[in-house]
Amino acid sequence: MVRPSPRTSVLRRVLVVAGLGASLAAVLAVGSQLASCVDDPHLRSDGASLGGGACKAGPGELPAPDCESSSNDCVPEPGCAVDEGACGSMGTCMPLRDQKASKQKDLRIRRLNITAPDALSQEFIQRTVVTLNIDLDAKKCGEVGKGLFSWLLRVDREKNELVTGGAPPPKDPLGQGFCFARYDANGIGIEPATFPIAFEGNTFKTTEKKKLNVPVFLSDDLASSIVLPLTDVVVSGVTLSDEGNCVGSFQKAGLRADCTEDPSSCPKWRTAGALGGYMTLEEADAVIIRDLGRSLCVVLSKGSPGPGGKCNRGADGKIAFKGDYCSTTKSAQGCQDSVWLAATFAASGASIFDGAGVPGCSGASTRDGGADATADATPDSGADGATDAGTD
């Protein structure tokens, strides 16, 4: 039997107190309070390295696409029975759809390892907010999550094009699949973004930076979404398998007998892609986490909310909290009006349908979409010039 590490035992006790059935927003609140007492598992190393090593990403940088911060202490533990006929082969990446014959490769992110900012990369948030909500509610597939957070990718090698964006919680993830979210979240436009890409072998990167508002759902209700307002998004070092079903791979030894995992010792997913972008604090302050009664800016600051649950402001009317990135200099130097987000990811083949008849994919509107209806929160569908291409 594999015994949990002291850190894992502490985390489990915290999860019992917080309640796995609690809303994502409530977990964020607990996570913010625990920021100083829960270890950050992301051991830092040179994020410019081409592969392997522990994960690191400074402001404006991306981590190595296949970086790994676990101890990689994998001891197989039998007991989790996976239906590979329904869920895909564990020998690859458990693709929910075989795309070998498809010119267009449709994928869903199965693991998103956030390396920055600190407020989102801490272990508690990664496990109970990000991973728990990306993992499907499908124990027969070796996943015991909620399946509320979906991020889709559509790769077209003939057009050298990537379409990517969020998706509302699916009704039938193993059958009908997913649709790109297209709706108005109380003033914030949610829709996928289209990027030109360049391939080198089976590895691609985006060649322009674009705006992308990514919804993270707390429930099946569209109005429950928290929007990540990302600007100058880059996707880089993404390696597709030969048949196009996988970005990264599945590691069977990462499954415990009850189909859970301990990613600090043996993660079940190996990543092979990286992404990043910045969030201005003003846009983050316009995103109100409904169940928490405070803005995304407050969560990123790990501080106490001011009037209206928003970030406190100085006498000059500007947000007092200082980010690690500047939207005008496009660097860590300067105005500190933004926060940089970076992550690595694994993805597998999935069915993406047109979304006809699905409110969250057909231009619906919400009265309470987790954001104030401010003009500066409207998505910018344009792109920076080719001089802003990639980070590789």
The DSSP string of 135-183 is S-EEGGGTEES----EEEEEEETTTTEEEEEEEPPPS-TTTT-B----E
More confident residue, 251 or 3: 251
pLDDT at position 367, please? 54
pLDDT at position 292, please? 87
Residue 306 lies in a domain: no
pLDDT mean over 180-201: 96
Rounded Cα distance between 241 and 243, Å, is: 6
Q: DSSP for 295-313?
A: EHHHHHHTS---GGG---B
pLDDT mean over 271-284: 99
pLDDT at position 248, please? 98
Residue 170 lies in a domain: yes
Query: Both tokens of residue 51?
Result: 């592969």
Domain count, the chain: 1
Residue 323 lies in a domain: no
Q: How does pLDDT run across 74-95, given as a tens digit for each residue?
A: 999 999 999 999 999 999 999 9
Residue 295 lies in a domain: no
Please state, in angstroms and as integers, the Cα–Cα distance from residue 387 to each residue in 83, 206, 209, 286, 383, following that order.
Answer: 47, 12, 10, 30, 11
Residue 294 lies in a domain: no
More confident residue, 141 or 383: 141
β-strand pairing of 364-366 with 183-185:
parallel
The secondary element (H helix, E strand) that includes residue 17 is: helix 6-18
pTM value is 0.83
Residue 335 lies in a domain: no
Query: Both tokens of residue 364?
Result: 């619906």
Residue 371 lies in a domain: yes
Is pLDDT of 338 > 50? yes
Residue 259 lies in a domain: yes
62 φψ region: left (φ > 0), alpha (ψ -120 to 50), beta (else): beta
AA letter at 4: P
pLDDT at position 372, please? 40
Task: Print the domain residue range for 62.
Answer: 6-280+341-387
pLDDT mean over 216-222: 92
Is pLDDT of 249 > 80? yes
Residue pair 173/96 in contact by the 8 Å Cβ criterion: yes
